[in-house]
Amino acid sequence: MSTQGSEASPSAETATETSPLLPRAEVNDASSDNRRWNPSKLFLTAVVYFLHRGMYNQFVSVYIILQSDRDEHLYLRKYMNMLRVPLSLLTIGSWSHFADVWGRKPVMLISMMGTMLSYLVFVLFQQAEFIQKDFRVYVGIVALDCLFGGSIAFNGLLHTYIADCASPGSRFKHFSALKGLSMVFHVGGAQLTILLLILAGQKYLILSMITYIFVAVLNVVLIVWLLPETIRSPAHKLPILKAAISPAMVFLRQPWSILALFVYSLTPNFDIIKIRFGIICSKDSFFSQWYFIFPYAASALALLLLYPTIEILYQRKPRPLQSVLRFTRRLAYTCLSLDVFSTVTVVSIAASNRIAHLVFDAISPFTVAIAPAIYSSVPSHSAVLFGSFSVIEALGGMFSNMFILRFFDWGSDDVTQYRLLYGSLAICLILTGLLLFVDSTGGSVDEDDSSAVLSTRDDEETVTLNS
């Protein structure tokens, strides 16, 4: 199949690649159902899913807290987080490849069913008091969720849906909005679980189970009802082993993008360090509350409104795809530069000037466009690619969390440890910028696509989709 460079919005039939191991995607367009893609449908499904995942994660955390002492709780949480990512790393290739072969929707449903099964088994074991006797049962139940793909695979599929239905030049604003929704509704699901614990008391288990099952079933209904089927390539099915190692092929084809995303994903967990450092330097109740609320709210606002608006304004005039990708990359450089500047400045003045610390630390939460920019830098339709991006991002977060737990003393107000951690943060940000700079493939597109003219009308494009 060949792409149509003269059209502003390439159809799904002109998809690039589905898997790094597959030559081209085949679009199942036997149906004459030409739908106008509405991103609000995908975002509604994503919102319910993020709410559901937030409830799931908080529910199992509550039971660990209630049934163990503090040291055991921290150990189990650390062990669970270390187990989740490697298991997902082993399974992400197979599930993402199946999404390229069977279609996105079936794998999404399988992932949801695995999470629901994990939750129900957890509840049954808790009622039978197995978990109180052996907490390894809990770890096994969480592993069951990961073996069905879990949140990491589902996150990759959400990005893949956007890649399927939006033109390469309009993906950045959708990826940015998706990340913002993830931040908001993961917290919303966790807070809903805590609220149920406060309101229900002894009946917490029953009420939380009913609420969780309702949200999970609603999510399944939305996936089936709202999401169209997009790209599938049944003729290119691979053996299980080759499918499992397909993320390695992604790394070989996009090494600098993968490394840049990994190094950058080491940095978001430092936000809690920034908050703690700000509270120590402020020594004021108002500023303490400000440091707890503002960074998270500002990051979500930037992802949901600021960066999508910037891209829309840039594309008010029709522009070549290469120009749009170049602009997105420059936006990522700008964010990295601002974050490095604010980080170095805070290290220099934080201990001596509270207002300066407040001002410069306020810049950092708005510099969150880097990950969406990396996701949108490769104009591909591959579920394996976006699944690999998702698991690499989670892998970086795992190492970052381990690093902070190892070197950060929560009970100490020593400014030196904060400066060391801020220095590590600055090094990661600078290295991310260097990796993006040497990435010669991230901004490249197919020769036929390079002349495509894009505008804000990309969102109004029609694509051939199969229910």
Domain of 154 in residue numbering reads as: 35-244
Burial class (CB in 10 A: 0-12, 13-18, 19+), 378: buried
Tell me, yes or no, whether 164 lies in a domain.
yes
State whether 270 and 229 are in the same domain.
no
Structural element, H or E, at residue 130: helix 130-133
State whether 325 and 424 are in the same domain.
yes
Q: What are the beta bridge partners of residue 402?
A: none
Say which CATH number the domain at 354 has.
Answer: 1.20.1250.20
- In DSSP notation, 399-432 reads HHHHHHHHH--TT---HHHHHHHHHHHHHHHHHH
Distance CA 41, CA 222 (A): 8
State whether 225 and 276 are in the same domain.
no
State whether 145 and 180 are in the same domain.
yes
Instruction: Tell me which of 218, 244, 270 is where a domain ends.
Output: 244
Structural element, H or E, at residue 153: helix 150-165
Sign (positive or negative) of CA dihedral 401, 404, 410, 415: negative
CA-nearest of 350, 360, 353 to 421 is 350
Tell me, yes or no, whether 68 lies in a domain.
yes
How many domains, the chain?
2
CA-nearest of 202, 216, 176 to 66 is 202
pLDDT in tens, the chain (467 residues): 333 333 333 333 333 444 444 333 333 333 333 345 678 899 999 999 999 999 888 887 777 666 655 555 556 666 676 778 888 888 899 999 999 888 899 999 999 998 888 888 877 777 766 555 566 676 777 788 888 888 899 999 999 999 988 888 889 999 999 999 999 999 999 888 888 888 877 777 788 888 888 999 999 999 999 888 766 666 567 777 777 888 888 888 889 999 999 999 999 888 777 777 777 776 666 677 777 788 888 999 999 999 999 999 998 888 898 899 899 999 999 999 999 998 888 887 765 667 777 777 788 889 999 999 999 988 888 899 999 999 999 999 889 888 887 777 777 777 778 888 888 899 999 999 999 988 754 444 433 333 333 333 333 333 333 33
Instruction: Tell me which of 192, 218, 244 is where a domain ends.
Output: 244
State whether 106 and 186 are in the same domain.
yes
State whether 445 and 425 are in the same domain.
yes
Q: Among all chains, which residue has been given the structure tokens 């207002």?
A: 355
Instruction: Tell me which of 244, 274, 296 is where a domain ends.
Output: 244
CA-nearest of 364, 327, 342, 332 to 435 is 332
